[in-house]
Amino acid sequence: MNSSNDVSLDDCNEANWWRQAAVYQIYPRSFADANGDGLGDIKGITSRVPYLKSLSIDAVWLSPFYPSSLADGGYDVDDYRNVDPKLGTLADFDEMATALHAAGIKLVVDIVPNHSSDRHEWFKEALASPKGSAARERYIFRDGLGENGDLPPSDWDSKFGGPAWERITEPDGTPGQWYLHIFAKEQPDFNWDNPEVRDDFLKTLRFWSDRGVDGFRIDVAHALMKDLSEPLPSKTELPVEGTGVDGLVDGSHPFWDRDEVHEIYADWRKVFNEYTPPRAAVAEAWVHADRRARYASPQGLGQAFNFDLLQADFDAAQFRTIITKNLAEAAASGASSTWVFSNHDVIRHATRYGLPAGGGRHGQEWLLDGGSPAAVDAELGLRRARAASLLMFALPGSAYLYQGEELGLQEVGDIVDSERQDPAFFRNPGIEVGRDGCRVPLPWTAEGSAFGFGAGRAHLPQPEWFAGYAVDAQNNVPGSTLELYREALLYRRHLLTEEQLTWVRADDAVLHFVRPNGWQSVTNFGSGLVELPVGIVLISSGPLDGGKLPANTTAWIV
């Protein structure tokens, strides 16, 4: 079968740089700490531009670096048009952008439009203003139910657990209205029916575009519009979708994936197109696959994450179905596909693939679905992660990488409760440990303070075994994960071709495809050895065995 997109490589000019870009996600607090306060910062990123360049990535995406109390790792923004003083200044940002651009690397920043932080000027003003005021209209305030209004307007749960409504104290000291927060209580949801909110975000997009930002990653892009007509349905009446999917195929959920949200992105697109090249955008939208294309349309954000591979087992049939489907979807929407295995919200894929099927994190333990203990086989996990990543780099579309995966870094499973930071942990005591395990600061050196992350103690504890994954332990070491990524991404840059793929073999054991220029990728998902096609083996994710491809390994052949 031939999955194709009509866009030819000639179209991949400057305006289309994002279509098949390798994008490296930086979680700024945990990347590199230049001032030694234990928190990664902008100058730290600038100091590592040569490292980023050595990876042959096309762009970096920065998770939020805006002023924030870090109630949700920066996804609680106090001021959308500034840099957190803990991380640097706007001048530092400009210096970083210049250094990245000089190294041929584009810059994508995160925009968090569904909610601000509770320290945002607008929210403070809303709290200080009376019920019904224009200041309250920028957020979603409602009277409580019950005689004294002391029951929340609905029984909805927030994404991080606990109620989705928080009661405020009115300026006169009396218990007052409630505001909606789909995430933590420090993240009040904006009212996107309010033109003031819309205008302010257009201003923010122009602010960063004017500073040379090349693209935007849009946080929970599918949540902005809400139908809060009363009576609000009870949570038992709210439609529930499958794993990791918010919303419904018909767009009728009161706050996830409503059709009206695309009017917002049509306005944003006009702003993106004011620039040369047009600014790019990618939607984080955990929606039903059939509705993803709406976010990715050229009249909207242009591209949308698909998290399908990230949610799949290391399984040939699942991979094949997902790849075929997503390429077809991307072709139909005019976007290119996206691929991702790891990010700051999920267990690192080198660990995930080392768990037996159905294994996951439950409280402080790795458990199987049924509750019995699950052991992580880190070596198997890494071998599969390397094979999966090499396969991903050969696929048509954009590959999104998460800092540390190029080191083969494992999830840190055993952070003590007193060190945890994720609101998902605090709102689900004893049930969820949250996402801190993939956010531990990177090890740059096997020795030295904070493994070279910075002079101070890292803000999340780094385990002793990080030494073995350090950049300097892998630099120039043949076969290391770092060198595998470097080599693969460099080859990828030279091999990129039309956004097409033809399956040569796709069964339970092997996925073998070829791109229009003859670039072949073969992955062995089975247990025996696999014969490779005739040609030159450019690179493989692990050693070959007598010229054959061992289990859990990918090779590229030209």
For residues 100 and 220, which CB has a smaller minimum distance to ligand NOJ in the complex?
220
Q: Tell me how far, at minimum, the Cβ of 284 lies from ligand NOJ, in Å.
A: 6
- DSSP alpha helix (H) spans, 341-412: 349-352, 378-394
CB 70 within 8 Å of CB 54: no
Residues 6+ apart with CB under 8 A from 229: none
Burial of 155 (0-12, 13-18, 19+ CB in 10 A): middle
Distance CA 52, CA 47 (A): 10
Q: Tell me how far, at minimum, the Cβ of 219 lies from ligand NOJ, in Å.
A: 5
Distance CA 555, CA 129 (A): 63
For residues 68 and 521, which CB has a smaller minimum distance to ligand NOJ in the complex?
68
For residues 92 and 284, which CB has a smaller minimum distance to ligand NOJ in the complex?
284
Residue nearest to ligand NOJ (CB): 75
Q: How far is CA 538 from the centre of its chain?
A: 30
Distance CA 56, CA 22 (A): 8
Report the catalytic residues: 219, 274
Q: Tell me how far, at minimum, the Cβ of 220 lies from ligand NOJ, in Å.
A: 5
Q: Which helix (H) or strand (E) holds 501?
A: strand 500-506
Distance CA 97, CA 113 (A): 23
For residues 92 and 411, which CB has a smaller minimum distance to ligand NOJ in the complex?
411
3-state secondary structure of 303: strand
Q: Are strands 537-540 and 553-557 parallel, antiparallel or unpaired?
A: antiparallel
Q: Tell me how far, at minimum, the Cβ of 183 lies from ligand NOJ, in Å.
A: 5
Q: Tell me how far, at minimum, the Cβ of 333 lies from ligand NOJ, in Å.
A: 22
Phi-psi category of 352—alpha, beta or left, where left has phi over 0 and alpha has psi -120 to 50?
A: alpha
- The two counts, helices (H) then strands (E), for the chain are 14, 19
CB 390 within 8 Å of CB 541: yes
For residues 402 and 519, which CB has a smaller minimum distance to ligand NOJ in the complex?
402
Q: At what angle do helices 261-272 and 195-210 cross, to 10 degrees?
A: 30
Q: Tell me how far, at minimum, the Cβ of 159 lies from ligand NOJ, in Å.
A: 7
CA-to-CA separations, 484 to 65, 93, 474, 533, in angstroms, rounded: 30, 30, 10, 21
Distance CA 245, CA 469 (A): 33
Q: How far is CA 283 from the centre of its chain?
A: 10
Distance CA 303, CA 265 (A): 12
Phi, psi of 261 (to 5 degrees): -65, -25
For residues 222 and 258, which CB has a smaller minimum distance to ligand NOJ in the complex?
222
Q: Tell me how far, at minimum, the Cβ of 72 lies from ligand NOJ, in Å.
A: 5
Distance CA 516, CA 396 (A): 10
- Single-letter code of the amino acid located at 221: A
Residues that bind ligand NOJ (CB under 6 A): 72, 75, 112, 183, 219-220, 284, 344-345
Residues 6+ apart with CB under 8 A from 431: 161, 362, 363
3-state secondary structure of 508: coil
CB 552 within 8 Å of CB 384: yes
Q: Are strands 106-111 and 165-169 parallel, antiparallel or unpaired?
A: unpaired
